[in-house]
Structure 1
Amino acid sequence: MAQKSQIEWTDATWNPVTGCTKIGPGCDNCYAERFAERWRGLEGHPYEQGFDLRLWPSRLAQPALWKKPRMIFVNSMSDLFHKRVPREYIDRVFDAMETANWHVYQVLTKRSSLMRSYIQRRYGGREVPSHIWLGVSVEDAAHVSRIRHLQEVNSPARFISFEPLLSPVGAVNLSGIAWAIVGGESGPRARPMEAEWAREIRTICDRYGTAFFFKQWGGPRPKSGGRILDGEEWNGFPWQIVPESILLEINAA
């Protein structure tokens, strides 16, 4: 069963794939790896293989079992566009999301060029269904090319997670980006985030009309530093891209 999430910007997580490999500095202190490796070798545990990549076909039907609409973070414990995930399996994940279309799915990747290629093959010039949100992680200025790859995807629901934010990202172009999430790193080796880096992104969001969400300062634990930036919480959310049928269900709940 997928799990209710403690992540501030979603309702639940769904992991039809688990495990991953590192591809940049944002992965150095991966929380998912740290959690999964605690259980390596424990027979019968979902993470008995640690953080080795694993496909879970048995989980593909889970979203259809949830009748109440919710925001679902897809693969919080992996990356759907990892090069070792077969395209046919990614098709099955997208089929499941398209079938259970009363939910909003938040798909986040660091492998932005592979996501772009897959989406262009699957949908051609057609727009990605509006209940499937596509996002990229950007931790520093060296990886802002992921934003351009995202902008080349035909979707009204593009988002960026600047987490863990490890350095200034500079004057990024957020044209066509609906939502930006900013957060510091958490864990025993957390690297600090400077307030000015977050403020810079907030200013850019204002310029482009991008909703700004400040998730955390980070520290030894995710909530160690709280969520207050310049005296307030920043809970921007792109309600304008939530499909109307889902929005009505959420408001009625």
Structure 2
Amino acid sequence: MNKSKIEWCDHTWNPITGCRHNCSYCYAKRMTARFAGDVRLNLMAKKDYSTEPAADNSENVFILDKPMLNETGNILVYPFGFEPTYHKYRMDYPEKLKMGNNIFVGAMADIFGKWVPGEWIRDVMETCLDNPIHNYLFLTKNPERYTEVGVPAGLENMWYGTTITCDADADRFNYLPAGCNTFVSIEPLMGDIVSKHNVMFRQVDWIIIGAETGRNKNKIVPELQWIKDIVVKADYNSVPVFMKDSLVPIVGEENMRREFPKQLQHSEISPKLKAKLFDGCASCKAHLRKSEMITLLARSKRGEQPKQFGFMCRDCFKEFCKGLGLDIPELIGLAESVTIGPGDEDE
């Protein structure tokens, strides 16, 4: 799991890597080439990996049960380059995050590519369902597969998106699953898509816009009007818009929109961490942060180390003090904990 540099998510999680779309502008393919090592040597280490048929009967795809190491003992992040690979050892990554995050699943792949075995996709979905504190965002150029594999529907933390770059592929939004949170990533924006496809803005819950990056000498720089048209249609349909930083030179920082849907604006806490941070007041039973309450300690005899047995909210603690005839303002200002039991001094 990596802390992401992608502006619209917190983390990227890549249990599956690799893609066979062969897009000329793909940043992921360029990146894997830097961290693959010698692919020919890696393929010779047959004891370190396995293969299975691709879902579309194209060339076999790869499976790694554990990380593959090079001759110096360093992990090869993409040992087979940009060939589809299932990294099974990464399946526990969401569980390691204690706070809820917006996780982009498959930033280095098209998880729903037609070559990806259905079992791989189901494994990923099962892990997401087992760790519901996170929001999971999926992005594919093959949205038909969402319905084909039967992705979980009706869940607020599951977001299904598709990539659109120009008029030729703008109808992909029609294949986004019904009854789900959906979004469109218009990146890289390579043409006017509004004039023929304005119905899209009534069917999606979020729109991301970005320009092509990198050193491609033939890259298309979006026209300002293309961007304005998208924003106008989105605003008319109350769809939030997130502009990536690649648009700053075109629209200007003062006109940038970095909006998130309401469901992606909060973070939850894992049950394990919640148990550490929160507890109920011993009196009124209100569930509050432990740090905001008075800690109750007890001991059975003098000289014994007191043991924690509960917490009390400050309002209930005031009532507790009143019942004992104690100076409430002074205690409230000073007390972080209260020990109940015999004192250390003789009475």
Indicate the TM-score class for this superposition, using the shorter chain for normalisation: 0.7 to 0.9
Gaps of 5+ in 1: 219-224
By relative contact order (CA 8 Å, sep 6+), the higher-ranking structure is: 1
Q: Tell me: CA distance 1:102–1:74, structure 2 relative to 1, closer, same or farther (3 Å).
A: same
Cross-structure match for 1:138: 164
**Structure 1 residue 108 displacement after superposition:** 0.7
TM-score (ref. length: structure 2): 0.62
Q: Percentage identity across aligned positions?
A: 29
Q: Tell me: CA distance 1:112–1:158, structure 2 relative to 1, closer, same or farther (3 Å).
A: same
Conservation of the 8 A alpha-carbon contact between 1:185 and 1:191? yes
Specify the SS of the correspondent of 1:10. Answer: coil
1:198 paired with 2:227, answer: yes
Cross-structure match for 1:215: 244
Q: Tell me: CA distance 1:227–1:73, structure 2 relative to 1, closer, same or farther (3 Å).
A: farther
**Structure 1 residue 22 displacement after superposition:** 1.7
- After TM superposition, list the pairs within 5 Å mapping 1:149-188 onto structure 2: 149-150=175-176, 152-155=177-180, 157-171=181-195, 172-173=198-199, 174-188=201-215
Q: Pick one of 219, 230, 233 that aligns with 2:256.
A: 233
2: CA distance between counterparts of 1:245 and 1:3? Answer: 17
Paired amino acid for 1:246: E
Q: Tell me: CA distance 1:246–1:187, structure 2 relative to 1, closer, same or farther (3 Å).
A: same
Conservation of the 8 A alpha-carbon contact between 1:79 and 1:108? yes
Cross-structure match for 1:55: 86
Paired amino acid for 2:117: P
**Structure 1 residue 232 displacement after superposition:** 2.3
Cross-structure match for 1:85: 116
Conservation of the 8 A alpha-carbon contact between 2:19 and 2:82? yes
**Structure 1 residue 39 displacement after superposition:** 3.0
2: CA distance between counterparts of 1:96 and 1:226? Answer: 39
Conservation of the 8 A alpha-carbon contact between 1:22 and 1:28? no
**After superposition, what is the alpha-carbon deviation per residue over 1:144-191, rounded to whole angstroms, capped at 9, x for unaligned?**
1111111x4321x21110000011112421223111000000011032
Paired amino acid for 2:172: R
Gaps of 5+ in 2: 39-69, 275-288, 290-347
Paired amino acid for 1:178: D
- After TM superposition, list the pairs within 5 Å mapping 1:53-132 onto structure 2: 53-119=84-150, 122-123=151-152, 127-132=153-158
1: CA distance between counterparts of 2:147 and 2:252? Answer: 33
1: CA distance between counterparts of 2:11 and 2:139? Answer: 14
1: CA distance between counterparts of 2:227 and 2:251? Answer: 11
2: CA distance between counterparts of 1:34 and 1:242? Answer: 30
2: CA distance between counterparts of 1:52 and 1:76? Answer: 14
Q: Runs of at least 4 residues of structure 1 off by over 6 A?
A: none
2: CA distance between counterparts of 1:17 and 1:194? Answer: 34
RMSD: 2.3
**Structure 1 residue 49 displacement after superposition:** 1.4
Q: Tell me: CA distance 1:245–1:185, structure 2 relative to 1, closer, same or farther (3 Å).
A: closer
2: CA distance between counterparts of 1:205 and 1:10? Answer: 20
Paired amino acid for 1:169: I
Paired amino acid for 2:20: T
Q: Tell me: CA distance 1:6–1:84, structure 2 relative to 1, closer, same or farther (3 Å).
A: same
**Structure 1 residue 217 displacement after superposition:** 3.1
1: CA distance between counterparts of 2:148 and 2:84? Answer: 21
Conservation of the 8 A alpha-carbon contact between 2:224 and 2:250? no
1:38 paired with 2:46, answer: no
**Structure 1 residue 57 displacement after superposition:** 1.1
2: CA distance between counterparts of 1:138 and 1:116? Answer: 18
Specify the SS of the correspondent of 1:144. Answer: helix
**Structure 1 residue 40 displacement after superposition:** 3.2
The size of the alignment, in residue pairs, is 231
Conservation of the 8 A alpha-carbon contact between 2:165 and 2:187? yes
2: CA distance between counterparts of 1:129 and 1:113? Answer: 19
Specify the structure having the higher radius of gyration (Cα): 2
1: CA distance between counterparts of 2:93 and 2:148? Answer: 26
Q: Tell me: CA distance 1:117–1:128, structure 2 relative to 1, closer, same or farther (3 Å).
A: farther
Cross-structure match for 1:246: 268
2: CA distance between counterparts of 1:179 and 1:19? Answer: 26
